[in-house]
Amino acid sequence: MKNHYYTLAALGTIRLEEKIPVTEEYFLQFAEDTIDAKSYQVLLKSRWGLTEPTGFSFADRILSWEKELRLELAKARALKLPFDASPDLEESKGSYNLLEQVRAVMALDSPLDAERYLDQLRWCYLEETGAHHYFDLEALVVYYLKLQLALRQEKFKVELGRDSFEKEYAALADS
C-alpha cells in the first residue's frame, strides 16, 4: 500500500454545493506529476458510469455499487412507463440494498431534486467507503469521484434545465 501524503495534503477539501478548489484537469495533472504511473492509471479508470474494471478492487467495488444503483433506477423507471416496456436489463446482483433509496428518488417530483438526491447518495456512499482511508490510493480514488460529483453539481442551472426540459417536452408532444 503506497501512501500519497503530499498529493492529498496539497489538494483542497471538496464539498457538494460549495466552490470547488481544483479543476478536474488540474487534479489529473497534479496526480500524474506526484503519484506512480500504475496508481494514476487506476485514477483515470475511476469515473462514474464506467463499467470496465479498473484493476483495483476498492474502485471496482464503488463502480459496482454505482452500476447496481443505475440498474435499479432503470427498472423502477421502466415500471412507471404507460406502456409495456420490458427492457433487456441485466439482473442486479442485489449486493447492495438500494431499493429504499430508489423509491425515494422516484417519489421526487423535480428531476433536479432527483439528481441532487442521487449525487448526495453517491457522496454518502463515498464517505462511508473511504472512512478509514487517508493518504492511500483509496483516498485518492474517493477524492477524484467526489470531485466529479461536485463538478457535475456545479453545472446544474435551474433556468437552463427548465429551458432544455421545455424544448424536449415540446418536441415529444409534437411527435
- pLDDT tens digits along 84-133: 766 666 666 666 789 899 999 999 999 899 999 999 999 999 999 999 99
Is the pLDDT at 71 greater than 70? The verdict is: yes
What is this structure's pTM?
A: 0.85
- pLDDT tens digits along 128-148: 999 999 999 999 999 999 999
**Domain enclosing residue 136, as ranges:** 5-174
DSSP state string for the chain: --B-HHHHHHSPP--TTS--SS-HHHHHHHHHHHS-HHHHHHHHH--TT--S--S-HHHHHHHHHHHHHHHHHHHHHHHHSSS-----PPPP---S--HHHHHHHHH-S-HHHHHHHHHHHHHHHHHHHTTT-SSBHHHHHHHHHHHHHHHHHHT--HHHHHHHHHHHHHHHHH-
For position 95, what pLDDT does the model report? 61
Instruction: Domain count for the chain, please give it.
Output: 1
Whole-number average pLDDT of the chain: 89
